[in-house]
């Protein structure tokens, strides 16, 4: 899979993005279990900014790059 281009500010925002609903409400998207993101990918991500962020986090996790988000989040 191809990882979509994300600029610096979007990556910082993505590292701090949280889930807005459901049993994982309030958790960082990067802390969501991979199985949950894969399930959403198969079901169809929401058609909004959160859905785009979930898709980006899924791509990072599937490709073993989620540490980028952890490092960014721990900078501040």
Instruction: Report CA 28 to chain centroid distance, whole Å.
Output: 8
Return the structure tokens found at 52: 């785009």
pTM: 0.86
Are the beta carbons of 74 and 12 closer than 8 angstroms?
A: no
Q: Give residue-wise pLDDT tens across range 61-73.
A: 999 999 999 999 9
**Diameter of the chain by CA atoms?**
34
Q: Average pLDDT over the chain, rounded to whole?
A: 91
**Over 70: is that where the pLDDT of 1 sits?**
no
For Cα atoms 73, 69, 67, give the angle at the middle one, nearest 5 degrees: 115
Q: Give residue-wise pLDDT tens across range 25-56.
A: 999 999 999 999 999 999 999 999 999 999 99
């Amino acid at each position: 899979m191809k990882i979509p281009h994300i600029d610096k500010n979007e990556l910082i925002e993505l590292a701090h993005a949280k889930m807005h609903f459901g049993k994982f409400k309030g958790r960082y998207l990067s802390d969501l279990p991979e199985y949950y993101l894969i399930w959403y990918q198969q079901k169809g991500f929401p058609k909004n900014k959160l859905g785009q962020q979930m898709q980006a986090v899924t791509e990072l996790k599937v490709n073993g790059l989620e540490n980028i988000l952890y490092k960014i989040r721990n900078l501040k």
